[in-house]
Structure formats: structure tokens, C-alpha cells
Amino acid sequence: MRSATDIIGKFRAHPIGRTHIPKIFELLQSRWKTAVVFIPYFWLLLFFLAPFFIILKISLAESLIASPPFSPLFEWASDGAMNIRVIFDNYAYLWEDELYLNTYLSSVKIAFISTVACLLIGYPIAYAIVTSSHTAKHVLLMLVILPFWTSFLLRVYAWMGLLADQGLINDLLIWLGFIESPVRLLYSHFAVYVGIVYTYVPFMILPLYANMEKLDMTLHEAAADLGARPFKTFLTVTLPLTMPGIIAGSLLVFIPATGEFVIPDLLGGGNVLMIGRVLYGEFHSNHDWPVASAVAIALVILLVVPMMLYQRVQSKESEQG
């Protein structure tokens, strides 16, 4: 009795086998590539696009005292016809009420200032890590990633203890003689900035480090040989080459900081206006799901549209270059 190996070997030796086996392998390889590409698209469709369209549908509904607390998008008439009921009043309400516009502007301002602060802190740290020795580089990277090993809420609560009126920072300032009585640090804009910068500065450092790791340090030596001072070398050589890392880190900080909820709620104590807290209040306190969904969709548009325009400009510049 012939084994399967003998049969396959004879099939490969046959002229038909020599013709079809490569085609079979090409077909399997193409199907495998299609499956590999399909998986991330399916993940994006399931966990981003599907929830987005659900929220979009709720934002076009009317608020009701029912369960669920909004009107259906499709309604069946008595004659059996299906009617689509779309309401844009929720989006109009966002423009009519100054609370939402002021909240959006406040969120963007806080996120922008926090992003600039993270950049000013993270850029020199990333450069120091890149230029350090091989052993020190791994230690410093571990220290940057170390905060992620603890709970995010625990770290925010720790800052509440540090910034409290009887907290460590006020006690230290009084002991050093800089102040005579505790300064109000907690439940302020300062506390929110501190919390956001502390939380998101690793997201600025890591992309900058990945970008700076690819830099050719001999360019600095060449610029120095040509008479460029260190600051001019930084402006003309280092800064332009690290711009992709700056943009990536800024996006990783700015986007989540704009919709931040936990930090302004715990460290701001209701005194700092950000869209995340307003969104939470509409869902859970007012039970107005359509307006809350409209706030969320407007926030997505506010963040995604500038990114799309920027990517379009970047693609045009790369094509021209």
C-alpha cells in the first residue's frame, strides 16, 4: 500500500503536478494575506464603527421617559409602511446652549496646554535616554513605563493626597518657609494640569524615543564642524528630523486629554469644565441619551476632522517631494 508521501511525490513529478502545485501555493498565500488584512479591519468595524453608528443613531433620536430613553429610528405605520424618524434638534441644542461651546473650548485649551507641557518635559527626557549608555537606556525606559504597572485610579488618588491642603506638598512648602498657610492646590486647574501631564507624559516620551533612536548622530558632528552652535544645530537638524515623533506624541496626548473624565472629576472636583464630565452628566444624571450622544459625536468630529486634514496635507507634501 502506497503512503501519502509517495502519492504527493509522484504528483509533483507529474507534468500536471509541476504546473498546478505552484498555483495552489500562490492561492493559499493570497488567501492567507487576505485573512491577515481582514482581521484588523474586522476588529475596527466591530469595536469602533459599530459603536459609533449606534451612538450616531441615538443622537438623531428624541429623548423619552422610557427604556431605552430615546425614540426608535425606524417606526412602522398602521398601513405597514416603515418610516425613518430623524431629529437634528440635539445638535442644534449644542449651539444654542453656551455651556457646551464653552466646555469644548475649555477642553481643547486644557488639552493643548497639557500637550505643550508634556512636549517640553518629554523631549529632553527622550533625548537623554537616546544619548545614554546601553545599560542606562534600558533602566530609564523601564522607569518611564513603570507607572503603567500600577492602577491609573490609584495614581490619581495619590495626587489627591499630595495636593491636599494638608498634603505633602503644602507641608513641605510650609516647612521650607515659602508659605505660612496651606495653598489651595487641589480642586483647581493647576491640579488638573498636573494630573494630565503626569499621566500622559510617557505617551509623549515613547514616540519621541522611537523617532530619536533612528537619528544619525554624525549629523551633529558635521553641523559642529561647519560652525553651527548647539542651539542652531538643534533648530536646523534635530528638530526637523524628530518632527514625526513630536506629531505622534502630541496626538497621543491631545486626543485622550480632550475627552478626559477621571482627572478633572477627582482633581478638579467639579470646578474645572471639561467635555468628559458634561458627557457623563448627560448620560447618568440627566438621562438625556440623545443629547449626550450628540455631544460625543461632535467631540469625535472635532478631533478626527483636523487629523484627516493634516494627513491629507502630509500625503500631498510627500507626493510633491
pLDDT in tens, 233-280: 888 888 888 898 998 899 889 988 998 889 999 998 878 888 888 888
CB distance 103 to 91 below 8 Å: no
pLDDT of residue 239: 87
Q: Residue 156, exposed/middle/buried by CB under 10 A (0-12, 13-18, 19+)? A: middle
**Separation CA 156–CA 160 (nearest Å):** 7
CA 122 distance to own-chain centroid: 17
SS3 154: helix
Other CB atoms closer than 10 Å to residue 308's CB: what's the count?
9
- Give dist(CA 230, CA 117) in Å, integer: 23
User: CA 52, CA 58: separation in Å to the nearest integer?
Assistant: 10
> Rounded to 5 degrees, what are φ and ψ at 77?
-80, 170
User: Which residue has 440623545 as its cell numbers?
Assistant: 290
Q: Which of 298, 287, 303, 312 is nearest to 255 (CA)?
A: 303
Residue 82 carries which side chain, given as an amino acid letter?
M
Tally Cβ neighbours within 10 Å of residue 9: 13
CA–CA distances in Å: residue 307 to residues 80, 95, 172, 298: 44, 23, 43, 15
**Secondary structure E strands in the chain:** 74-76, 82-84
| Cα(270)–Cα(49) distance, integer angstroms | 32
Contact indicator for 97, 291 with CB cutoff of 8 Å: no
One digit per residue, the tens of pLDDT, for the chain of length 321 reads: 455 555 445 545 545 444 555 565 565 566 667 777 778 888 888 888 888 888 888 888 888 877 778 888 777 766 666 777 888 888 888 888 888 889 999 999 999 999 999 999 999 999 999 988 888 888 999 999 988 888 888 999 999 999 998 889 999 999 988 888 888 899 999 999 999 999 999 999 999 999 988 887 777 778 777 787 878 888 888 888 889 899 889 988 998 899 888 999 999 887 888 888 888 888 887 788 888 899 889 888 888 877 777 777 667 666 665
- What single-letter amino acid sits at 254? F
How do residues 154-192 score in pLDDT, each as one tens digit? 999 999 999 998 889 999 999 988 888 888 899 999 999
Q: What are phi and psi of 206, to 5 degrees?
A: -65, -45
Cβ atoms of residues 301 and 52 within 8 Å: no
